[in-house]
Amino acid sequence: MANYIPIVTIDGPTCSGKGTISRLLARDLDWNLLDSGALYRILALRAKENSILPDDYESISYLTKGLNARFILDREGECVLLNNQDVTSKIRQEDCGILASKLAQFKEVREALHVIQRSFILPPGLVADGRDMGTIVFPEALIKIFLEANTEVRAVRRHKQLKEKGINVSLPDLSREISERDIADRNRSLSPLKPADGSYYLDSSDLTVSQTLEKVKEFVENII
């Protein structure tokens, strides 16, 4: 098929390692990357900067107009560009994540972002990271992966990441926030977080990043 563009989706809860694995996979395959959580975070940032309340979903959906996001992979990781401005550290703040999870519950917001997410299907292939990549946004994906890790492991990973950035948050607070976000993401009526039919399931709680990447590559290499 001349125009066929393969898609790998990696879904999972917050801090499951899907962002890191998606980045490394996209880099190794030399494919495009979609960090869909970053799009929700960008909207949260824009809402915050424009003092728009979380339940004003019409104004928030309007903020998606003219939104031009790109994900650049470099040695340090991922750089998120919004209209050519680096917003990586701003959108990674905990308050943006919490607000993003709230906005993600509105149909209007999800529909507006759906179109933007589909525009990332570009040759030679796409690695898409999120909560509903395999279930809703890219149901046609060639390979769907669901990446999990237990709450304690995820809280410790996040704690380490934040500490490296000089941000001090208590571990019990982080663990509680992660659990609350999980409950919101898994139980919302629209596009809840769940494994897509036919997806590969991988629990990374006891695996290093390179072991997880190896396993994901095994799934991918079996099919591509």
Size of the site for ligand DC (CB under 6 A): 15
Applying CB under 6 A, among 16, 64, 101, 199 the residue interacting with ligand DC is 101
Residue 177 binding ligand DC, by CB under 6 A: no
In the complex, least distance from residue 150 CB atom to ligand DC, rounded to whole angstroms = 17
In the complex, least distance from residue 154 CB atom to ligand DC, rounded to whole angstroms = 11
Residue 100 binding ligand DC, by CB under 6 A: yes
Applying CB under 6 A, among 6, 8, 9, 14 the residue interacting with ligand DC is 14
Residue 41 binding ligand DC, by CB under 6 A: yes
End-to-end CA distance of the chain: give it in Å, rounded.
14
In the complex, least distance from residue 92 CB atom to ligand DC, rounded to whole angstroms = 8
Residue range at the interface with ligand DC (CB under 6 A); choices 69-77, 97-105, 169-177, 206-214: 97-105
Residue closest to ligand DC, measured at CB: 37
Please give the residues from 120 up to 139 whose contact with ligand DC meets the rule CB under 6 A: 130-132
Interacting residue ranges for ligand DC, rule: CB under 6 A: 14, 36-38, 40-41, 97, 100-101, 104, 130-132, 181, 185
